[in-house]
């Protein structure tokens, strides 16, 4: 531009030297000179503006560098300094971009402009980095402790009980809150919202997010938030003692250890989803709510990985061996996850959360399949259970106690089991087909067609148990002990059902049939055990048919035989145990009515024939009172030898 002005000036001088009319030539050249001078002035102004902008940018840089020295104190004075700096940088950048130097042919000036633009962007980057750092710092330093005031977490026998004070949950009572968290189907997660960040700092976090979004640094802001909240959720799971072992680790765990982890997983999941994830979603909404779907994306990216890890633990449980002892933990996991599905679906409702929703439903389905397969394994284990030696004393077999306690505990899951057994899966066919065969072949079972699926299943299990016990009873050489064993065990089964909800579930017909079986086996026991003794008290063969006189020799043998048989049965059957006191009383009364009455009648008719006999007390060793007392010692589970002197 300086060359143009010089050329115009030279033209003016030459025109004045050679022109015959210099005034006219000068007038003609003056407009061109004015234009050149105006352009020169404009260029100088632009250069001055560039220098001014450079100076202002350097001033902003000094401010920003001072922030780095004491960022927290700067932020405590509020976000206005950041906003002022950002606005200043943006205005200076716009001014630079509006300056057009290229058309003037000044390459150096144009390069200077580009350098200043890059300089402005680098300062803005520094400001954004400071904001991002402060954003993360505020998130970390202002986390609420996991164990909040008014909230306590404690372990109970089956896991966590969660109690929230009335001040933090819309004036609900602690007991009501605890009950809902442990087992309701409520989807109102608002009842369990807690503050994960101190509320007073939320305005600053929201302000920083808005500034970064306006400056097109939204990706950096979201990434800082997601990274921080992932760590926070990790800390919460650590506090809840919820571990996430992989499949290989699960398969190698001892059951007692794995059982403990499952309990913690069940209750920890309830708290994590209903309290902390619900609260996490609210926190994300408060900070990023003004930016549409960003809020949901940040929440999902923060929590999705942890949720999938938690679900993978339950998936590992489903592919582990289906031992019957695992059934209750499987049912607890199924019920717990089923209760949480509405919450999970609501929390991860967006497309980005579809993997969590899908995995949750698939895991629930696999848990249901595992429950059914575990039922099959229980069924098979019961059928395979065999013994080679008789159970001592004819008492209640440990298998009977195990099975009855097992199925009694299953009644607590009645609704869940009815649902699972009603599903038309191939895992159900094994027991449905067996049930149909039994119903067709046995009139006693035809009435079960109107029972619930779980009731029919439990009746079938009990039927298999009885069949198993019948085979075990065959191991006894003593026929009376065989019936005693079956009487004891069926009585235990019946009483167990009567004393719980199991009786109502199995139905009155089943209870009547079982009571009838107990009575029948009791009667068979009495016949097998006491009829041989009563045979010594029969009258046949005592009197001489010709003379009608009593044969003392026969009478002595009868008394001696009775005494020996009584002493043997006393020694043996005092060792036998009838745990059911009502059954024991009924047996003692029934035996007493038969034996004591027969002995009393026999004594009344024939004892006088041996009174004058030498050593008559060898034959009539026991009185009626003795016999009555002896019978009260039976079935106590402690063998006693009968000594008359001791008894008296």
Q: Which residue has better confidence, 446 or 562? A: 562
Query: What's the rounded Cα separation, in Å, for the pair 497 and 474?
Result: 26
pLDDT digits (tens, 9 = 90+) for 407-449: 999 999 999 999 988 765 444 555 555 555 444 444 554 455 5
pLDDT(500) > 60:
yes
SS (H, E, C) 590-604: HHHHHHHHHHHHHHH
Q: Which tokens is 497 given?
A: 């059902």
**Neighbour tally for 186: CB within 10 Å:** 13
pLDDT(465) > 70:
yes
pLDDT(516) > 90:
yes
The pLDDT assigned to 532 comes to 93
Average pLDDT over residues 516-520: 96
- Please give the mean pLDDT across all residues of the chain: 78
Helix axes 552-573, 624-632, angle to 10 degrees: 20
* pLDDT band for position 182 (cuts 50, 70, 90): very low
pLDDT(142) > 50:
yes
Average pLDDT over residues 398-406: 94
pLDDT(167) > 50:
no
Q: Which tokens is 18 given?
A: 């050679």
In a 3-state reduction of DSSP, which class is residue 350? coil
Q: Where are the alpha helices (DSSP H) in 272-350?
A: 278-288, 294-319, 327-347
pLDDT(621) > 70:
yes
Query: What's the rounded Cα separation, in Å, for the pair 597 and 591?
Result: 10
The partner residues of 197 in beta bridges, in order of sequence, read 143
Query: What's the rounded Cα separation, in Å, for the pair 174 and 152?
Result: 11
Query: What's the rounded Cα separation, in Å, for the pair 589 and 583?
Result: 10
Instruction: Give the contacts of 480 (CB within 8 A, at least 6 positions apart).
Output: 525, 528, 529
pLDDT(86) > 80:
no
Q: Which residue has better confidence, 403 or 159? A: 403
pTM: 0.75
Helix axes 453-473, 398-410, angle to 10 degrees: 180
Distances (CA, A) of 552 to 543, 558, 611, 630: 9, 10, 11, 27
pLDDT(203) > 80:
yes
Average pLDDT over residues 507-514: 91
Write the DSSP string, 78-114.
-THHHHHHHHHHHHHHHHHHH---GGGT-HHHHHHHH
């Amino acid at each position: 531009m300086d060359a143009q002005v010089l050329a115009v000036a030279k033209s003016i001088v030459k025109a004045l030297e050679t022109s015959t009319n210099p005034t006219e030539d000068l007038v003609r050249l003056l407009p061109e000179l004015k234009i050149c001078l105006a352009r020169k002035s404009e260029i100088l102004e632009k250069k001055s503006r560039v220098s001014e902008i450079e100076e202002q940018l350097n001033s902003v840089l000094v401010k920003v560098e001072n922030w780095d020295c004491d960022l927290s104190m700067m932020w405590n004075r509020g976000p206005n300094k950041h906003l002022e700096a950002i606005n200043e940088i943006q205005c200076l950048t716009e001014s630079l971009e509006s300056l057009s130097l290229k058309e003037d042919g000044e390459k150096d000036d144009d390069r200077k402009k580009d350098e200043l633009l890059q300089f402005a962007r680098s300062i803005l980057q520094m400001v954004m980095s400071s904001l991002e750092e402060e954003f993360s710092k505020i998130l970390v330093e202002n986390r609420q402790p996991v164990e909040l005031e008014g909230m306590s977490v404690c372990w109970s026998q089956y896991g966590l009980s969660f109690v929230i004070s009335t001040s933090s949950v819309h004036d609900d009572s602690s007991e009501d809150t605890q009950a809902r968290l442990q087992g309701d189907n409520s989807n109102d997660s608002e009842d369990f919202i807690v503050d994960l960040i101190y509320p007073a700092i939320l305005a600053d976090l929201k302000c920083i997010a808005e500034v970064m979004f306006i400056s097109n640094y939204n990706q950096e802001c979201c990434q800082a938030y997601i990274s921080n909240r992932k760590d926070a959720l990790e800390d919460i799971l650590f506090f809840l003692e919820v571990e996430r072992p992989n499949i290989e680790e699960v398969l190698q765990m001892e059951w007692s250890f794995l059982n403990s982890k499952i309990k913690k997983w069940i209750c920890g999941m309830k708290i994590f989803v209903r309290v902390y994830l619900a609260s996490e979603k609210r926190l994300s909404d408060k900070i990023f709510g003004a930016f549409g779907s960003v809020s949901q994306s940040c929440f999902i990216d923060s929590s999705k990985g942890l949720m999938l890890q938690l679900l993978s633990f339950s998936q590992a449980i489903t592919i582990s061996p289906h031992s019957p002892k695992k059934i209750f933990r499987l049912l607890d996991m199924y019920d717990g996850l089923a209760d949480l599905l509405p919450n999970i679906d609501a929390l991860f409702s967006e497309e980005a959360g579809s993997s969590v929703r899908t995995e949750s439903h698939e895991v629930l389905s696999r848990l249901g399949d595992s429950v059914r397969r575990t039922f099959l394994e229980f069924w098979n284990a019961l059928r395979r259970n065999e013994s080679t030696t008789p159970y001592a004393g004819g008492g209640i077999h440990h298998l009977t106690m195990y099975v009855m306690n097992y199925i009694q505990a299953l009644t607590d899951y009645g609704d869940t089991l009815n649902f699972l057994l009603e599903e038309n899966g191939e895992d159900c066919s094994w027991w449905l087909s067996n049930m149909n065969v039994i119903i067709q072949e046995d009139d006693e079972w035809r009435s079960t067609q109107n029972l619930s699926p779980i009731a029919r299943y439990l009746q079938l299990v009990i039927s298999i148990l009885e069949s198993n016990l019948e085979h075990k009873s065959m191991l006894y050489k003593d026929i009376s002990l065989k019936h005693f064993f079956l009487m004891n065990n069926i009585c235990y089964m019946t009483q167990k059902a009567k004393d719980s909800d199991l009786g109502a579930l199995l139905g009155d017909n089943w209870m009547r049939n079982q009571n009838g079986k107990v009575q029948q086996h009791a009667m068979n026991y009495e016949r097998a055990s006491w009829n041989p003794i009563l045979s010594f008290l029969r009258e046949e063969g005592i009197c001489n048919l010709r003379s009608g006189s009593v044969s003392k020799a026969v009478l002595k043998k009868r008394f001696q035989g009775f005494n020996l048989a009584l002493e043997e049965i006393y020694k043996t059957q005092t060792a036998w145990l009838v745990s059911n006191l009502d059954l024991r009383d009924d047996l003692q009364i029934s035996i007493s009515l038969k034996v004591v009455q027969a002995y009393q009648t026999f004594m009344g008719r024939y004892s006088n024939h041996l009174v004058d006999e030498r050593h008559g007390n060898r034959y009539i060793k026991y009185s009626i009172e003795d016999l009555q007392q002896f019978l009260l010692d039976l079935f106590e589970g402690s063998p006693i030898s009968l000594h008359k002197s001791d008894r008296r």
